[in-house]
C-alpha cells in the first residue's frame, strides 16, 4: 500500500506517537508476566526464609522439586526463556559501541526478569540461587539425574576430588574465551556460545542434527555425573561464579556451618555438587544452593554435634562461619523484599479501570483521551457521530445499539495501539474512496495484536483495512459493502497488507470487491467465513504458510484464489455457484487442498504453474469443467477425489501424461472383476472429443451423436491420434466423499454459462 496515503490521512495525523514495541510485547504477555513474576517472588521468599524451610525437610523437598519442574517446563518449554552467555555478549557489544538505550533489554520481559533476579540474588546467595532453582536447562538436568539415580543408583559416578578441583576452572576458561573472541568476531563468539545447548532445549530439539547430538551428549554425561555440564562446562555458570566468589570474601548471607563439620565430613560426602571443602567450608562459586547441608545442620538424628549435645557431652558449638550481624541480615532481607515488590508491581500496571461514555466522558473521543493502557471503555446504545482514534491499548466495547457514524468521512475507526480491541458496534458511513479514508476500521503499523470482533460494518468502501500490523484478529463481524456500486468500484471487505499472523474468522461478508484480500501476509488464518456476491471471495498474493479452511463461498465471480504462495492449506471449503472458478491455484507450491466441495462453478479447480501440491478427498461435481490443469502444473498428488457429473471432467494441457490414481469418475465405463473397489482398466481424460468441445463449446449439443461416439471409438482403436492426458490407473468404483448425496441435494444447481463463454478477468491466465 502507498505509505504516503497513510501519512497524509487526517485522522492518522492526530494519532500521536506509536506505542514502543517493548511495551507492546509486555502488554501482549501480561498473564505470563504476572505468573512469572509471582514465581520469582516465591523463589526469593523461599531463599529469604530458608532457615525456617530447612527445619522441615519434606517441605524443602516439595518446594525445590516444584521450583525445578516450573523452571524446566513452564519457563523453558512454554515461555521459551533461557538466560545464556549470548545475552552477556550482546550487552558487552552494546557497552563497547556506547549504546545506552535500555529499551533493547526490555524486548523480552522474561529474560529481563531473569537477569534482574540474577543481579538481585548472586551477591546475596551466590550463583546457586539461579543455577540451583531457576535455570530451565539446569533444572531439567537435575530432575533427570534424580530420576536416573533412583532407577540406577549404582550407575552414577562421582568425580575424584583432585580432578574436580581442576575441572571447575574449565567453565571460567570457556566464558573468558567466548567473551574475548566477541570483541574481535562477534558472530564467531555466537557460534562458540552454542556450547550451551540451551536453545536446543527451549525449541524442543527442533534444530540441526549436530546441535541435537551435542544436546544428547550433555544430557547423557549429566545423568552419569551429577550436572557435569553445569559444574564444569557452562560458560554462564563461569560468569556467575565470579561475583559468587565475592560472597566468600564479603559475606552478607552465609550458610550455617559448625567447627565440627570439617571433622565428620557428612556434608562433604553427601554434597552432589562437591561444593563443601574438606575443612567443612562451602565454596560459594560451586554451591548450587540445594540446602541439603542446612537440612543436615538441623537434623538431630544425623548431625554429630546435635547428637553429642543431646547426650549432654558437649556445649552448643560455635559456627565455623559466624552468622552475619543481625543488621546485615535485615538489610539483605529488605533488599530481597524490595526486589519482590518491583517484580510484582511492574506487571500490575497492565490492569485497568472501566469508563462509561455518558457518565465518565461526554464522547468516545473524550473517553479515549482519559483512558490509560488496559482500561475498558463501555459505550451505551446510541449514535455517535464522530471518528474514533485509538492510540492506547484499550478495550472499546459497544453495548447493543451503539453506532459509530463517520458521516461520510473516514476512516471511521483508526487503531495504532497494540492490543486494542473494538467490539460490539455498528460502524458505518465512510466515503467511496480507494485509499485508507474509505475504511470502516483502519489498523496501522504498531497495532500488533489488535482485535476487531462482533461488529456490523456497513456503507463503507472497505470494511477492515490492516497494513503493517501483525497478529490482528478480525472475528465474527458482519461486513456489508456498497451494493449499488459496480463490483470493480467497491473496496474489499477485509484487506490485509504486510499483516503476518492475522486471523480472519467467522465473518459474514457481502457485496464487496474481494471478500478477504491478502498481500505479503504470511502465516495468516482465514477460517469459517461466509462470503457472497463478491469478485473474489478470498484472494491472496504472495502469502506463504497460510491457512484457508472451512469457508463458504457462493455466488461470487471466483471462490478461493491462491496466487504465488507456498506451504499453505485450503481444506474443507465450500465453493458453489461461482460464475468462474471454485478454487484457483496460480504458482502454488507445496500446499494442500483437501476435503473441499466445489459444485456448480464454471470451473471447479483451476491449476496454473502449480507443482508439488496435494489435492485429495475433494468433491468436484456439476461444474462445466471439473479441473483445468495447465501451464506446467505437474507432480501434484491428486487422489481420492470424487469427480461427479462435470460436463468435462478434466482439461489437461501439457506435453506428457499425468497420473492421478485412485479417484472416482462418474463417467468411468470400466469394470471391477476383482471386487477390490478399483477398476480393472485405467481411466483417461483429454479425448479428442474433449478437445473438440474445448475449441467449439456449441458441439456439446452433439455430445451423444453417432459422429462424436464414432470419433471416441476411433481414438481408442488408433492411439496415433492420442493427446497428452490424465491417466488414473486405479479408478475407484464408488464415490469416496462422505455424505456426497446429501451435499449434492443441498446444492442442486448447475452453472449458467459454459466455461468457454464465461467472464474473463484481465490478469487471469488460462482459457
Please tell me the predicted confidence (pLDDT) of residue 730.
94
CB atoms within 10 A of CB 165: 14
- Tell me the range of 43-47, 660-664, 671-675 where mean pLDDT is highest: 660-664
Residue 332 vs residues 50, 138, 336: alpha-carbon distances, Å: 13, 26, 6
Which 8-state DSSP code applies to residue 306?
Answer: H
Residue 9 has pLDDT above 60, yes or no: no
Q: How far apart are CA 49 and CA 160, in angstroms?
A: 34
Please tell me the predicted confidence (pLDDT) of residue 250.
52
How buried is residue 611: exposed, middle or buried, by Cβ count under 10 Å (0-12/13-18/19+)?
A: middle
Q: How far apart are CA 713 and CA 616, in angstroms?
A: 31
Total length of the chain: 767
Please tell me the predicted confidence (pLDDT) of residue 323.
42
Q: Are strands 456-458 and 597-599 parallel, antiparallel or unpaired?
A: unpaired
User: What residue has cell string 502488554?
Assistant: 27
Please tell me the predicted confidence (pLDDT) of residue 382.
95
The residues that bridge with 494 in the sheet, in sequence order, are 464, 516
Q: What is the mean pLDDT of the chain?
A: 83
The residues that bridge with 665 in the sheet, in sequence order, are 643
Q: How far apart are CA 375 and CA 355, in angstroms?
A: 7
Please tell me the predicted confidence (pLDDT) of residue 183.
82
What is residue 225's three-state secondary structure? coil
Which 8-state DSSP code applies to residue 251?
Answer: -
What is the tens place of the pLDDT at every residue in 623-632? 999 999 987 7
Is the entire prediction scored with pTM above 0.75?
no
Please tell me the predicted confidence (pLDDT) of residue 319.
44
Please confirm whether the linkage preceding 411 is cis (ω < 30° from 0): yes
- Tell me the range of 210-224, 266-280, 282-296 where mean pLDDT is highest: 210-224
Helix, strand, coil % over all residues of the chain, rounded to 5: 40, 20, 40
Residue 714 has pLDDT above 60, yes or no: no
Rg (CA), the chain: 35
Q: How far apart are CA 212 and CA 217, in angstroms?
A: 9
Q: Which residues contact 176 (CB under 8 A, 6 or more apart)?
A: 238
Q: How far apart are CA 626 and CA 649, in angstroms?
A: 5
Spell out the alpha helix ranges (H) of 358-450. Answer: 364-370
> What's the whole-number mean pLDDT along residues 733-758?
79
Contact 620, 603 (CB under 8 A): no
Q: Where are the domains of the chain?
A: 1-21+352-534, 84-107+137-250+254-322, 551-686+724-767
What is the tens place of the pLDDT at every residue in 11-26? 444 444 445 666 777 8
Q: Answer whether CATH 2.160.20 is correct for domain 1-21+352-534.
A: yes
- C-alpha cell belonging to residue 20: 514502543
pLDDT band at 467 (very low <50, low <70, confident <90, very high): very high
Query: 235-249 and 170-182 helices cross at what angle (nearest 10)?
Result: 110
Higher-confidence residue of 404 and 52: namely 404
Query: 57-69 and 30-48 helices cross at what angle (nearest 10)?
Result: 150
Q: How far apart are CA 195 and CA 197, in angstroms?
A: 6
What is the tens place of the pLDDT at every residue in 496-527? 999 999 999 999 999 999 999 999 999 999 99
Which 8-state DSSP code applies to residue 683?
Answer: E
CB atoms within 10 A of CB 549: 18
Q: Are strands 726-728 and 683-684 parallel, antiparallel or unpaired?
A: antiparallel
Percent of the chain residues topping a pLDDT of 90: 48
pLDDT band at 430 (very low <50, low <70, confident <90, very high): very high
Residue 704 has pLDDT above 90, yes or no: no
Please tell me the predicted confidence (pLDDT) of residue 99.
60
Q: How far apart are CA 406 and CA 387, in angstroms?
A: 6
What is residue 660's three-state secondary structure? coil
Q: How far apart are CA 703 and CA 592, in angstroms?
A: 34
Please tell me the predicted confidence (pLDDT) of residue 753.
58
Closest CA to 422 of 445, 438, 442, 401: 442
Residue 6 has pLDDT above 80, yes or no: no
Contact 454, 424 (CB under 8 A): yes
- Residue 230's φ and ψ, nearest 5 degrees, are -60, -35
Percent of the chain residues topping a pLDDT of 70: 81
- C-alpha cell belonging to residue 278: 574438606
Contact 356, 378 (CB under 8 A): yes
The residues that bridge with 504 in the sheet, in sequence order, are 474, 526
What is the tens place of the pLDDT at every residue in 518-574? 999 999 999 999 999 999 999 999 999 999 999 999 999 999 999 999 999 999 999
Please tell me the predicted confidence (pLDDT) of residue 305.
74
User: What residue has cell string 562437591?
Assistant: 274
Higher-confidence residue of 334 and 50: namely 50
Cα angle 45-293-262, degrees, rounded to a multiple of 5:
140
What is the tens place of the pLDDT at every residue in 184-233? 776 688 778 889 998 888 878 877 788 889 999 999 999 999 999 999 99
pLDDT band at 723 (very low <50, low <70, confident <90, very high): low
Which 8-state DSSP code applies to residue 598?
Answer: E
What is residue 62's three-state secondary structure? helix
- Residue 220's φ and ψ, nearest 5 degrees, are -60, -45
Q: For 19, what's the count of Cα atoms within 13 Å in the CB-facing half-sphere?
A: 27
CA quadruple 579, 580, 585, 587: dihedral sign = negative
Contact 440, 466 (CB under 8 A): no
Higher-confidence residue of 154 and 733: namely 733
Please tell me the predicted confidence (pLDDT) of residue 296.
81
What is residue 736's three-state secondary structure? coil
Q: How far apart are CA 495 and CA 506, in angstroms?
A: 16
How buried is residue 604: exposed, middle or buried, by Cβ count under 10 Å (0-12/13-18/19+)?
A: buried
What is residue 101's three-state secondary structure? coil
Which 8-state DSSP code applies to residue 218?
Answer: H
Q: How far apart are CA 231 and CA 237, in angstroms?
A: 7
CB atoms within 10 A of CB 163: 10
Higher-confidence residue of 419 and 339: namely 419
Amino acid at each position: 500500500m502507498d505509505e504516503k496515503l497513510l501519512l497524509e490521512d487526517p485522522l492518522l495525523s492526530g494519532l500521536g506517537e506509536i506505542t514502543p514495541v517493548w511495551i507492546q510485547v509486555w502488554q501482549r504477555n501480561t498473564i505470563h508476566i504476572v505468573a512469572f513474576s509471582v514465581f520469582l517472588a516465591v523463589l526469593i521468599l523461599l531463599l529469604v526464609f530458608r532457615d525456617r524451610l530447612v527445619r522441615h525437610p519434606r517441605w524443602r523437598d516439595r518446594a525445590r522439586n516444584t521450583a525445578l519442574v516450573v523452571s524446566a517446563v513452564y519457563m523453558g518449554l512454554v515461555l521459551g526463556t533461557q538466560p545464556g552467555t549470548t545475552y552477556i555478549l550482546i550487552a558487552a557489544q552494546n557497552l563497547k559501541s556506547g549504546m545506552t538505550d535500555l529499551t533493547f533489554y526490555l524486548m523480552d520481559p522474561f529474560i529481563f526478569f531473569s537477569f534482574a533476579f540474577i543481579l538481585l540474588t548472586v551477591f546475596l546467595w551466590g550463583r546457586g540461587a539461579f543455577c540451583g532453582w531457576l535455570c530451565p536447562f539446569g533444572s531439567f538436568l537435575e530432575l533427570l539425574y534424580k530420576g536416573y539415580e533412583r532407577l540406577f543408583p549404582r550407575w552414577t559416578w562421582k568425580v575424584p576430588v583432585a580432578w574436580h578441583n581442576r575441572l571447575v576452572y574449565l567453565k571460567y576458561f570457556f566464558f573468558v574465551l567466548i567473551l574475548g573472541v566477541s570483541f574481535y568476531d562477534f558472530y564467531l563468539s555466537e557460534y562458540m556460545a552454542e556450547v550451551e545447548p540451551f536453545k536446543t532445549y527451549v525449541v524442543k530439539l527442533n534444530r540441526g542434527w549436530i546441535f541435537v547430538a551435542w544436546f544428547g551428549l550433555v544430557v547423557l554425561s549429566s545423568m552419569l555425573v551429577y550436572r557435569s555440564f553445569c559444574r564444569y562446562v557452562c560458560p554462564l555458570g563461569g560468569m556467575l561464579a565470579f561475583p559468587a566468589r565475592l560472597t566468600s570474601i564479603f559475606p552478607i548471607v552465609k550458610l550455617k556451618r559448625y567447627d565440627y563439620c570439617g571433622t565428620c565430613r557428612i556434608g562433604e560426602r553427601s554434597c552432589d555438587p562437591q561444593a563443601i571443602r574438606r575443612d567443612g567450608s562451602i565454596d560459594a562459586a560451586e554451591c548450587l544452593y540445594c540446602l541439603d547441608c542446612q537440612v543436615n545442620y538441623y537434623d538431630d538424628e544425623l548431625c554429630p554435634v546435635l547428637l553429642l549435645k543431646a547426650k549432654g557431652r558437649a556445649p552448643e558449638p560455635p559456627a565455623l562461619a559466624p552468622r552475619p550481624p543481625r543488621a546485615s541480615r535485615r538489610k539483605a532481607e529488605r533488599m530481597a523484599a524490595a526486589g519482590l515488590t518491583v517484580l510484582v508491581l511492574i506487571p500490575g500496571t497492565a490492569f485497568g479501570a472501566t469508563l462509561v461514555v455518558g457518565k465518565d466522558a461526554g464522547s468516545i473521543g473524550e473517553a479515549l483521551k482519559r483512558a490509560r493502557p488496559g482500561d475498558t471503555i463501555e459505550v451505551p446504545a446510541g449514535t455517535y457521530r464522530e471518528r474514533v482514534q485509538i492510540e492506547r491499548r484499550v478495550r472499546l466495547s459497544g453495548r447493543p445499539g451503539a453506532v459509530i457514524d463517520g458521516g461520510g468521512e473516514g476512516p471511521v475507526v483508526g487503531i495504532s495501539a497494540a492490543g486494542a480491541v473494538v467490539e460490539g458496534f455498528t460502524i458505518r458511513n465512510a466515503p467511496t474512496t480507494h485509499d485508507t479514508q474509505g475504511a470502516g476500521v483502519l489498523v496501522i503499523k504498531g497495532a500488533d495484536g489488535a482485535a476487531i470482533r462482533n461488529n456490523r460494518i456497513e456503507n463503507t468502501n472497505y470494511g477492515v483495512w490492516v497494513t503493517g500490523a501483525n497478529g490482528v484478529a478480525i472475528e465474527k463481524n458482519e461486513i456489508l459493502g456498497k451494493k449499488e456500486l459496480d463490483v470493480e468500484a467497491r473496496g474489499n471487505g477485509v484487506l490485509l497488507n504486510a499483516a503476518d499472523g492475522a486471523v480472519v474468522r467467522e465473518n459474514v461478508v457481502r457485496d464487496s470487491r474481494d471478500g478477504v484480500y491478502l498481500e505479503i501476509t504470511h502465516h495468516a488464518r482465514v477460517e469459517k467465513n461466509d462470503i457472497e456476491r463478491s469478485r473474489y471471495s478470498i484472494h491472496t498474493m504472495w502469502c506463504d504458510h497460510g491457512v484457508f479452511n472451512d469457508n463458504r463461498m457462493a455466488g461470487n465471480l471466483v471462490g478461493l484464489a491462491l496466487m504465488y504462495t507456498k506451504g499453505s492449506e485450503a481444506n474443507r471449503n465450500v465453493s458453489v455457484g461461482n460464475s468462474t472458478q471454485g478454487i484457483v491455484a496460480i504458482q502454488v507450491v507445496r500446499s494442500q487442498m483437501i476435503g473441499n466441495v466445489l459444485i456448480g462453478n464454471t470451473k471447479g479447480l483451476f491449476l496454473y504453474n502449480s507443482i508439488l501440491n496435494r489435492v485429495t478427498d475433494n468433491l468436484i461435481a456439476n461444474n462445466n469443467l471439473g479441473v483445468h490443469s495447465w501451464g506446467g502444473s505437474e507432480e501434484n498428488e491428486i487422489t481420492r477425489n470424487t469427480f461427479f457429473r462435470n460436463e468435462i471432467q478434466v482439461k489437461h494441457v501439457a506435453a506428457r501424461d499425468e497420473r492421478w490414481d485412485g479417484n472416482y469418475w462418474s463417467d468411468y465405463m470400466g469394470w471391477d472383476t476383482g471386487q477390490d473397489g478399483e477398476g480393472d482398466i485405467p481411466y483417461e481424460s483429454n479425448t479428442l472429443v474433449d478437445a473438440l468441445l474445448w475449441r467449439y463449446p456449441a458441439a456439446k449439443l452433439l455430445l451423444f451423436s453417432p459422429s462424436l461416439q464414432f470419433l471416441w471409438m476411433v481414438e481408442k482403436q488408433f492411439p496415433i491420434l492420442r493427446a497428452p492426458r490424465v491417466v488414473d490407473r486405479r479408478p475407484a468404483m464408488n464415490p469416496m466423499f462422505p455424505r456426497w448425496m446429501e451435499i449434492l441435494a443441498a446444492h442442486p444447481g448447475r452453472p449458467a454459462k459454459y466455461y468457454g463463454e464465461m467472464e474473463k478477468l484481465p490478469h487471469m491466465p488460462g482459457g
